[in-house]
Amino acid sequence: MTRFTFILFRKDGTTTMIFRNTARAKQAAIFGAATLGTLLLAPLAISRSGITPAHAAGASVAPTTAGYAAATGTWGVDKSHTDIGFAITHLAVSKVRGHFNDFEGTVKVDGVKPENSSVSFAIKTASIDTANAQRDGHLKGADFFDAEKYPEITFKSTKIVQKGKGFTALGVLTLHGVSKTVAMPFTVQGPVKGPDGVQHLGVDTLLTINRQDYGLAWSKVVEGVSMVSNDVAITISLDLAKKPAA
Q: Is the pLDDT of residue 46 over 70?
A: no
pLDDT tens for 129-185 read 999 999 999 999 999 999 999 999 999 999 999 988 889 999 999 999 999 999 999
Of residues 16, 74, 41, the one with CA closest to residue 198:
74
Whether residues 34 and 72 share a domain: the answer is no
Whether residues 121 and 184 share a domain: the answer is yes
Whether residues 96 and 218 share a domain: the answer is yes
Q: What is the pTM of this model?
A: 0.72
Whether residues 115 and 48 share a domain: the answer is no
Whether residues 145 and 109 share a domain: the answer is yes
Which three-class secondary structure string do you get for 112-168?
CCHHHCEEEEEEEHHHEECCCHHHHHHHHCCCCCCCCCCCEEEEEEEEEEEECCEEE
Whether residues 43 and 84 share a domain: the answer is no
Q: In CATH, what number is assigned to the domain containing residue 79? A: 2.40.128.110
Whether residues 122 and 196 share a domain: the answer is yes
Whether residues 123 and 149 share a domain: the answer is yes
pLDDT at position 63 is: 57
Q: What's the total number of domains in the chain?
A: 2
